[in-house]
């Protein structure tokens, strides 16, 4: 229960209460490398699961967002949908570019190549 509370962002006080232990116990546990590794593993697992869930709902969410941009929707709704689409579209594009660049750097490191000042991706000049 303590690990789950901490992984969900609880404060030491709240996590201690949820786990039925004292705050000193929580601080002591947080000094234990094995406990902290388990916490990091749980955080990574939670992050991965959340990422997969968001990926799964992505297409439906995009369709709904596109529907909110239609002229039949109230203007404030259209404006909000357009802003959201632009904001997240740019973030999605940046994340994709970052993944491509990271993969290129990892490949260079794997093959002992020196990276150029700027990595040129396919389709760039």
What is the rounded distance in angstroms from the CA atom of residue 104 to the CA atom of residue 107?
5
Per the prediction, the chain carries an average pLDDT of 91
Task: Tell me, yes or no, whether 22 and 51 share the same domain.
Answer: yes
pLDDT of residue 125: 63
- SS3 of residue 32 by DSSP: coil
Task: Tell me, yes or no, whether 85 and 123 share the same domain.
Answer: yes
pTM passes above 0.75: no
Query: Burial, 26: exposed, middle or buried (Cβ in 10 Å; 0-12, 13-18, 19+)?
Result: buried
Domain limits for position 36: 1-58
Q: Note whether residue 64 is domain-resident.
A: no
pLDDT of residue 67: 94
Task: Tell me, yes or no, whether 18 and 54 share the same domain.
Answer: yes
Q: Note whether residue 63 is domain-resident.
A: no
Question: Residue 119: is its pLDDT beyond 90?
Answer: no
Q: Note whether residue 49 is domain-resident.
A: yes
Give the mean model confidence (pLDDT) for residues 10-23.
96
Task: Tell me, yes or no, whether 79 and 102 share the same domain.
Answer: yes
Domain boundary among 58, 82, 105: 58
């Amino acid at each position: 229960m303590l690990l789950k509370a901490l992984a969900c962002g609880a404060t030491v006080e709240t996590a201690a209460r949820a786990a039925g232990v004292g705050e000193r116990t929580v601080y002591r546990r947080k000094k234990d490398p094995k406990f902290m590794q388990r916490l990091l593993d749980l955080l990574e697992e939670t992050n991965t699961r959340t990422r997969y869930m968001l990926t799964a709902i992505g297409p439906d969410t995009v369709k709904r967002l596109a529907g909110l941009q239609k002229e039949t929707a109230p203007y404030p709704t259209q404006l909000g949908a357009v802003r959201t689409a632009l904001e997240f579209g740019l973030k999605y594009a940046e994340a994709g570019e970052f993944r491509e660049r990271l993969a290129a750097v990892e490949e260079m490191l794997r093959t002992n190549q020196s990276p150029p000042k700027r990595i040129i991706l396919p389709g760039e000049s």
